[in-house]
Structure 1
Amino acid sequence: MPQAYLPYLTFGENLFSLITQLIAIVCFSYLLYCARYKPSRLTVKELSNSILLCMATHIVYSLLALPYQLYEVLWWRPSESVNCHLDRVNLGWSDSAVYNFIGF
């Protein structure tokens, strides 16, 4: 039997992840845009290729993780949320990007 707080903890984790991923997508996209097309807006002279690659990878993984986070937040139900992220179909199609992203 799951703990009473576990569904709410899962919802809070997914909501926080969704918000931070959206912020990261916007901020890193703007930095990549400035580095490529408006370098005068940057405080530094230029960004290294490894930083640009890291930001681009972060954007891609954040975009891949968005469907899972949206699913977990928008279709959240207190009685079902503990088991919905353990569904094999859900894990196979949407959740795998999240765990790859966290591992990065």
Structure 2
Amino acid sequence: MPSWFTDSFLDVAEDAQDALDENKTVLLYFHLDGCPYCDAMLTQNFKSGENLAFIKKHFSVVAVNIRGSREITMSESESKTEQALSEMLAVKYTPTIIFFR
């Protein structure tokens, strides 16, 4: 993942507040290791390309592996693994982008 992606503690509410403080929107980038389409999106949009400056300016990007085991906190009473969150949000294909504000 690019070094400029948000260094998140995977607390979505906290990430959303931090992004709001910077006048940005949280962009959850759902990916899968080894996915050629994910690699293409990273290369063409997050590492270079004409949209890179726009994305950096307007979005706080958090990478989520759809088969990952890191805990993501959704609220004080709810946390899920990356995989469980992907299932809850019905992410079936990668890459998938979901915006949080």
Q: TM-score, normalised by structure 2?
A: 0.28
Q: TM-score, normalised by structure 1?
A: 0.27
- Greater fraction strand: 2
Larger radius of gyration: 1
